[in-house]
Structure 1
Amino acid sequence: MERLAGAAVASCMILLLLLVPCAQFQGQPPEAPEEAWAEGQPPEALEDALTMLLSEGGCGAFAALVARTAGVGDTFREQIGSDLGLTILCPDDEAVGAFVPRFHSLTVDEQAGLLLYHGLRMAYSEELHGRVYWLWEVLTLDGEQTLIINHYRGRAILSPWPPSSQNEARITKTVVDDDHLAVYLIDAVLIPTESKKPDFFWDFLGPFLLVIAGLLAL
């Protein structure tokens, strides 16, 4: 019962983020069209809905950073309302706590970029990414940065692309799996690859080698 109740609450929060009234909170759907209802909602309500959703999923520290960093929450909510939706890779509280000193040493732009790096430009359902048995490249919200999803022994492992360090994270829990929003708890903070000049090997041969590696893994 608790799991069903939690899922119902999460669904209502997603509806709020999509600017659709939730009967549980409103009593009855309003007579006015959706646009009029949306105009009457304070920005704080949408911000609180996203923060609560992430916090209840086990990543309250990450949610707090998102709420305090200008533009990040707005970008997440805008992507949730898009046709493709949003995936949030949410580092757990232990991982964020260990990373906070380094986070505060970053510039404002670097802080925003790092947080947006944990958002993917599509709502990847658990079923969808679970079908992938080799390396899979996905776009993040941080410009044109990409991540690699690699399934190994039944676990999804995330790492930057092109590889710049041993930084990687594992998906430990599915928090939300919805058409417009997917949230996964991960065990480490992901660090974007630093910008650099084009590299022939990684930029041109790298994707080809990924395909070969995937075929060999079958």
Structure 2
Amino acid sequence: MRRLSRAVAFLLLLLPLALAATTTMAAAVVAKAPAAAAAPPNVTAEMAKGGCKAFADLIAASPDASSTYQSAVEGGMTAFCPSDDAVRAFLPKYRNLSADGKAELLLFHAVPVHYSLGSLKSNNGPMNTLATDGAARSFNFTVQSQGDAVTIRTAAAAAPARVESTVLDKDPLAIYVIDAVVEPVELFKPAPSPSPTPAPAPAADAPKAGNGKAAARQRHPAPAVADAPGPAAEDDAAPVDQKDVKKSAADGAPCSRWWLAAALAAASALV
């Protein structure tokens, strides 16, 4: 009886220790269990809050675009959402696209990589988008940065789309507002190249100072000179020439008579 009492007492002493050990082990198991993964952010909800509600509504209305956007977030994504004003201006073109074309256009505005604004500035060049489907339908655009300005350019638009603000930049998702809808060349014709500016025509030389007479002669040319007189005119002038000869001989006559008188006087003196 005494042995049984001792055994019961011993078990009663061990029971609290066993309970404490069980509690500790359970707490350790709970601590080691991984925490439930946070749900990825809702892309269209974030766009709507950041000023791109019109673009978010277009994504929500396209089942293909909506599911692709939401599934791509888990692996990292950068979205460029056009502002509401830009979407409203583009709606006439958007409505002319087929259902597949609309989905491709919406997917063309996202890149399957998370880019912070700083890394976006340092990654200038072509980028594949969620719409890229092999080499035949590349659906890529070119990112260019200069200073703090980041732009997106394609051959289908004469002017690039410019990044205006940041809606969200937290891994795995970045969303930036742009000022225009980006048009892929797979859906729209290439924009015409700007025509070169023609060179200005050379200015006419201004007349120099002091050259007024020459300018007057150009404005009022002198009358044409008559042809030189023919032989008949020379015959008419002959009497005038003969009269001049007789006059010259008469002028020289006194000089000859003076020399004759002097010679006679000299001869008389010698006799």
TM (norm. structure 1) is 0.63
Whether the 8 Å CA contact 1:99–1:189 is kept in 2: the answer is yes
1:33 offset after TM fit, Å? 6.9
Cα deviation digits, residues 102-123 of structure 1 (max 9, x gap): 1111100000000000011101
Q: Quick one: structure 1 residues 131 and 165, their matched pair in 2 at CA, closer, same or farther if it must change by over 3 Å?
A: closer
Local SS of the residue matching 2:45: helix
Residue in 1 that maps onto 2:211: none
1:1-218 equivalences under 5 Å are 34=36, 49-82=42-75, 85-132=76-123, 135-143=124-132, 144-160=138-154, 163-194=155-186
Local SS of the residue matching 1:123: coil
What is the alpha-carbon distance in structure 1 between the residues aligned to residue 53 and residue 157 of structure 2? 27
Higher RCO, 1 vs 2 (CA within 8 Å, ≥6 residues apart): 1
Whether the 8 Å CA contact 2:83–2:177 is kept in 1: the answer is yes
What is the alpha-carbon distance in structure 2 between the residues aligned to residue 65 and residue 88 of structure 1? 14
Whether the 8 Å CA contact 2:81–2:177 is kept in 1: the answer is yes
1:159 offset after TM fit, Å? 0.8
Whether the 8 Å CA contact 2:54–2:87 is kept in 1: the answer is yes
Q: Which runs of 5+ in 1 are unaligned?
A: 1-30, 39-45, 197-218
Rg (Cα) greater in structure: 2
Q: Quick one: structure 1 residues 52 and 164, their matched pair in 2 at CA, closer, same or farther if it must change by over 3 Å?
A: closer
Across the aligned residues of Structure 1 and Structure 2, the Cα RMSD in angstroms comes to 2.5
Q: Quick one: structure 1 residues 62 and 131, their matched pair in 2 at CA, closer, same or farther if it must change by over 3 Å?
A: same
Q: Which runs of 5+ in 2 are unaligned?
A: 1-32, 133-137, 189-271
The sequence identity of aligned pairs, in percent, is 31
What is the alpha-carbon distance in structure 2 between the residues aligned to residue 76 and residue 190 of structure 1? 17
Whether the 8 Å CA contact 1:167–1:191 is kept in 2: the answer is no
Whether the 8 Å CA contact 1:171–1:184 is kept in 2: the answer is yes
Counting matched residue pairs gives 151
TM (norm. structure 2) is 0.51
Q: Quick one: structure 1 residues 169 and 101, their matched pair in 2 at CA, closer, same or farther if it must change by over 3 Å?
A: same
Whether the 8 Å CA contact 2:156–2:183 is kept in 1: the answer is no
- The one-letter amino acid of 1:154's match is D
1:130 offset after TM fit, Å? 2.6
